[in-house]
Amino acid sequence: MFHFIQMQIQRKKQLGKVRSSETYQATLNSFMSFRCGVDLTFDMIDSELMELYEAELQNRGLTRNTSSFYLRILRTNYKLAVEKGLTQDCHPFKRVYCGIDKTVKRSLSFAKIKQIKELDLSLTPSLDFARDMFLFSFCTRGMSFVDMAYLKKKDLKNGYLTYRRKKTGQLLTVEWTRQMQAIMDKYPINPTQYLLPLILREDGSERRQYQNQMMKINRHLKEVASLIKLPVSLSLYYSRHSWATIARGKDIPLSVISEALGHDSEITTQIYLDSIKSVEVDKANRKILKDL
């Protein structure tokens, strides 16, 4: 099984699916640790073993969503092994959780976004840069950080940014606005082919540079949040959720928000948004109860 998954990791890399290869590797490392390095064949995998693995993940303090993530990757590889005739399907994942729990939506109000924008961070360049990259993401309809990092100068033409999402390959076009230009004007022109000052060397370490920048920016965003007493662990992902939530609050149709975010379906977009805001429910309840 270890060898089989390692082969799938190599195949992911050959297909250019670097992020997938990394999640497969993390899953393999976790399962190998659980097995104390002892490999096994696919026909040795049963529901009891998977229940023990799930319990081990929970004992390590992993959330149910994280343990489910590892189990889903193992299930994908198991089903592939079944397809290849390496084992019969004994449904070993039937007693473990492979779903996705609802999580607290990571979004800010427009007032908080504006408060972050108006902070004077001129004396702390690292915080200033983190704030600017957060705002750039928000201004570009919640562009994911990996797409920001890999934006190229040639992607900006005739007042529009045109790029393909790394995650889905979907082609997106974003109007270039004065807010985006104001952020660009604050920094020296990147000596590389990339638009933003995130990947600064083209020496084969581009992915590592992007990952390091993301970690640093997320760390500094937590400091930015503390400056305005924001009771959340602010990260780049908040910009994407915030844009979607604010758009919905302005009665922009779900289909338009979905297109703006580059989602494959409106179902994905709905995950970003609460089906009904609790404040709206409270408002409805007040109307019902006002004459009671």
* pLDDT value, residue 49: 97
Asked whether the predicted pLDDT for residue 285 surpasses 90, the reply is no
Q: Which domain holds residue 47?
A: 2-83
- Specify the pLDDT at position 281: 57
pLDDT value for 250: 80
121 shares its domain with 76: no
pLDDT above 70: residue 105 = no
Buried b / exposed e over 51-73, threshold 16 CB at 10 Å, is eebbebbeeeebeeeebbbbbbb
Decide: pTM greater than 0.75: no
Judge whether 289 lies within some domain. no
Please check whether residues 65 and 127 belong to one and the same domain. no
Q: Is the pLDDT of residue 275 over 50?
A: no
Contact 82, 88 (CB under 8 A): yes
Out of 212, 234, 256, a domain closes at 234
- Counting residues of the chain whose pLDDT is more than 70, the rounded percentage is 90
Q: C-alpha 176: how far from its chain's center?
A: 23
Residue 34 resides in a domain: yes
pLDDT bin (cut points 50, 70, 90) of residue 51 is very high
Kindly report, residue by residue over 128-175, the tens digit of the pLDDT: 999 999 999 999 988 999 999 999 999 999 999 999 988 878 888 889
Note every long-range contact of 101-107, with CB atoms under 8 Å and residues 24 or more positions apart, other chains counting.
101/63, 101/64, 101/65, 101/68, 103/65, 105/241, 105/245, 105/272, 105/273, 105/274, 106/232, 106/235, 106/237, 106/238, 106/241, 106/242, 107/238, 107/241, 107/242, 107/244, 107/245, 107/246
Residue at 37 is within a domain: yes
Query: Do 129 and 26 belong together in one domain?
Result: no
- Tell me the per-residue pLDDT of 197-214, one tens digit each, with 9 for 90 and over: 999 999 999 999 999 999
Domain assignment present for residue 169? The answer is yes
Total domain count, the chain? 2
DSSP E strand stretches across 57-202: 156-157, 160-164, 171-175
